[in-house]
Each structure stands twice: as C-alpha cells, then as structure tokens.
C-alpha cells in the first residue's frame, strides 16, 4: 500500500508541476511540501496547520483529501499511542525505583525525611520530568508570518515607487509634447489669391502677420502666428496691407511675386523686427 508521501509525489508528477510551482499555487512553503512527500510531518507547527496544509495540497493534486487526512490521523494516532506507552513504562520504572529508594532510606533513618524547602514537585517524584513527545506541541515559529508581512510591505513600497515614476513620465511627456508643438494660427489663402510666402532660413523662426488696419469692430485680423520649422513655408494671403513681426529677422525669408529677400529697411538696408507689406 502506498504511503501518503508516495501518493502526493506521484500525483504531483502526474500533474506535471514542481515543488516550487506547487508551493506558489497553494501558498504553502516548499520545504513543508517536500517533507510531506517524504512522510515527514515534524514541521514545528500545530497539528491544525499540518492537517490544513495536507488537505490543501491534496485538493490541489486532485486527490481525495478526506482519505489523506484519515490516513494521516491513523498514522499519527498510532505513533502517539506507541509514544505514550513508552513514556508510561519509563515513568513507571522511575516511580518504582524512587519509591524503593525512599523506603530504604526511611528504614535506615527511622522516619520519613521531610521534603526540602523550595524543591519542586511532591516527594517521590523526579525534580525534572521530560516532556512527553506525543503531547508536546512546539511553540509556533513566527518566521513564516514575518516573511509574509515583510513581502507585503516591500510590495506596497515598490508599487508606490512605480506609480510615482509612471506619473512623472506621463507629466513630462505631456509637457514635452505641448511645448514642442505650440498652437499655430494660419489663415489659408484661397485659390488664385495673391500671397506672400514666409520661410525659415537657418533656424526655426517665430512670426506674427496681422492686418495693418483694424476692423470696424476694433479687432485685428491675424493671418499667421506661430513658429515655422526649417525647410517649411507658409503662404499668407495679401488681402490687406499687412504687418510682419519677427524677433529674429535674420532667420526669416520673404517671397513676394518674383522677389525674394528679408525684412529690411528700404533706406538703410538694415534688418527690421517689424515691417509692412502693402496690398497689390
């Protein structure tokens, strides 16, 4: 007949999982599962935990958990009964020998020796009695619970740090995209309409093109407002006299009809940051 450990090991191998994988699935430490498969149940935990772990492991392996627990109880009961019989036999011999020694001592002294003050236990009993291994339950080791609490705390800290990093990355990416792609105002020219073409020369250039005269309601038409990248042009309609403003006119190139040049003073030839182009 197969032992409990042999049945557990055979079912695990048939399922095709390792001790480590089974431990992760059942949340039971791998060393406990290894001991169970080796028919060793001295894992220094109360019996209720041993039975609970055995039942969980059996259910995970699709084995009849009640049968496994019944076999374990039978095995454990037999071991406990044998241990208790041995303890009674040892203690019985100790009691008899102690009684005989006491009688002999009394016969020599002619009376009963009073108990020594401060001695533990009743007369005739040994000073220190060995614990019964069948009924002694070792104290619960807090190692496993401490490990779980530590892992939970570490996981929470890592999660918070990861969330902060993700938030920073998102904010930086949003800020970078908004700064790298500013809004552009551009009134497109109609087909066949006279235009003035503006372009960047060596570096991107920021330009503002507006109508010279305000509208009847006092507002001003803005034909273009934005930054022109190098290699790109903007065609602006010449519907009115227009004002061109540019902080870096050395990077601005204008094309009006067959003429191409820069925003310069007609008298001095110096570059200007603000100039006027009249409507044809």
Q: pLDDT digit string (tens) for 83-98?
A: 554 444 444 444 444 4
- HSE-CB at 261 with a 13 A cutoff on CA atoms is 14
Q: For the residues 118-122, what does the mean pLDDT come to?
A: 44
Q: What is the pLDDT of residue 123?
A: 47
Helix (H) or strand (E) holding 155: helix 143-180
Burial letters 24-42, b for 16+ CB under 10 A, else e: eebebbeebbebbbeeebe
251: which residues sit within 8 A by CB, 6+ positions away? 200, 201, 202, 203, 204, 205
**pLDDT for residue 135 is more than 70:** no
Q: What is the pLDDT of residue 78?
A: 57
Q: What is the residue extent of each domain of the chain?
A: 4-109, 185-277
Q: What is the pLDDT of residue 206?
A: 95
What percent of the chain lies above the pLDDT cut of 70? 72
Average pLDDT, the chain: 80
* 280 confidence band (pLDDT: 50, 70, 90): low
In angstroms, rounded to a whole number, what is the distance separating the alpha carbons of residues 107 and 99?
Answer: 12
Q: What is the pLDDT of residue 205?
A: 93
Choose the weakest-confidence range: 26-35, 48-57, 69-78, 188-197. Answer: 69-78
**pLDDT, tens digit, for every residue of 181-235?**
568 999 998 888 889 999 998 999 999 999 989 999 989 999 999 999 998 999 9
* Nearest Cα to Cα of residue 253 among 211, 215, 196: 196
Q: Give strand pairing partners of 274.
A: 245
By the 8 A CB rule, do 40 and 30 touch?
no
By the 8 A CB rule, do 253 and 260 touch?
yes
Residue with tokens 């002619």: 110
Report the relative pairing of strands 242-246 and 222-228 from DSSP bridges.
unpaired
Would the pTM of this model clear 0.85, i.e. be above it? no
**pLDDT, tens digit, for every residue of 163-177?**
999 999 998 877 655
DSSP-derived 3-state class of residue 16: coil
Q: What is the pLDDT of residue 189?
A: 86
Q: What is the pLDDT of residue 247?
A: 94
**pLDDT, tens digit, for every residue of 48-65?**
999 999 999 999 999 999
Q: Assign domain 4-109 to its CATH architecture.
A: Orthogonal Bundle (1.10)
């Amino acid at each position: 007949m197969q032992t409990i450990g042999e049945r557990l090991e055979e079912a695990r191998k048939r399922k095709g999982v390792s001790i480590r994988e089974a431990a992760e699935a059942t949340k039971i430490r791998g060393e406990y599962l290894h001991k169970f498969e080796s028919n060793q149940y001295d894992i220094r935990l109360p019996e209720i935990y041993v039975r609970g772990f055995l039942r969980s492991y059996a259910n995970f392996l699709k084995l009849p958990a009640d049968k496994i627990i019944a076999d374990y109880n039978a095995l454990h009961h037999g071991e406990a009964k044998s241990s208790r019989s041995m303890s009674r036999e040892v203690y019985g011999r100790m009691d008899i020998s102690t009684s005989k020694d006491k009688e002999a001592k009394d016969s020599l002294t002619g009376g009963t020796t009073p108990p020594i003050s401060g001695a533990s236990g009743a007369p005739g009993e040994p000073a220190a009695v060995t614990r019964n291994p069948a009924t002694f339950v070792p104290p619960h080791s807090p190692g496993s619970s401490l490990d779980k609490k530590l892992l939970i705390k570490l996981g929470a800290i890592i999660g918070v740090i990861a969330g902060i990093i993700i938030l920073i990355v998102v904010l930086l990416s949003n800020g970078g995209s908004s700064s790298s792609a500013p809004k552009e105002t551009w009134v497109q020219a109609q087909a066949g309409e006279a235009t003035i073409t503006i372009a960047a020369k060596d570096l991107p250039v920021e330009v503002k093109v507006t109508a010279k005269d305000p509208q009847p309601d006092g507002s001003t038409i803005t034909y273009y407002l934005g930054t022109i990248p190098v290699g790109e042009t903007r065609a602006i309609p010449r519907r009115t006299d227009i004002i061109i403003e540019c902080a870096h006119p050395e990077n601005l190139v204008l094309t009006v009809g067959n003429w191409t040049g820069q925003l310069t003073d007609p008298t001095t030839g110096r570059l200007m940051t603000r100039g006027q182009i009249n409507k044809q």
